Amino acid sequence: MAPGGALTATGVVAVVRGTRADRVADVLDTLAAAGVRCLEITLNTPGALDALRAAADRLPDGTELGAGTVRTAAEASAAVAAGASFLVAPDTSGDVAAVARDHGVAYYPGALTPNEVARAWDVGATAVKVFPAGAFGPRYLRDLRGPFRDVPLLPTGGIGPRNAADYIAAGAVAVGAGGSLIGDALDGGSLPALADRAARLLAAVEAAR
């Protein structure tokens, strides 16, 4: 399965991870209104599955909703049942890959080393999440692209409006942006500021393509 249309169209996955549930819907709505079309809610965010169900009925057509931090087959099945069209993880699991394959949803497993990238691709990754990308930088991603030109790479971790273009230029199919994008929005921070960060991130990615 090729990476989803929203992922390749905008080049951004917004990673929504928080410690409270009451602002998740507002954050998702703000991101979607700003033009982000690939939204990941991590399963360790309170109320993640309920947020997925609600957002699937509310957000604009063309928005892809996914679940993050999916590490077991049971979590994967629950996420798909809640409406996730893609599954993201910090690691690689053959069991999660099987659930994704059986349900026809995208799977973005985490990997860092060449051996881990190869394994993630071998188990059926749609794209490989290079994590934590920020610890190694765009040059490391460019080096990985050398032997893995057939593997779509999705760097995540430490990426925001200021450095996203560098990862796209290094060969990323898209970038995953969490804390640098979301900021304090899930804890009551400014939603207009979140919208501004999202717009700047999308513009930076588009300019680098």
Catalytic positions: 40, 129
Angle at 10 between CA 7 and CA 11, to 5 degrees: 65
Tell me the C-alpha distance between 18 and 82, whole Å: 19
* Angle ∠(60,1,148) on CA atoms, nearest 5: 115
- Dihedral (CA of 172, 118, 129, 86) sign: positive
The CA distance from 95 to 100, in Å, is 9
What residues have CB less than 8 Å from 92, skipping those under 6 apart? 109, 110, 111, 116, 119, 120, 123, 125
CB half-sphere exposure, 55, CA atoms < 13 A:
34
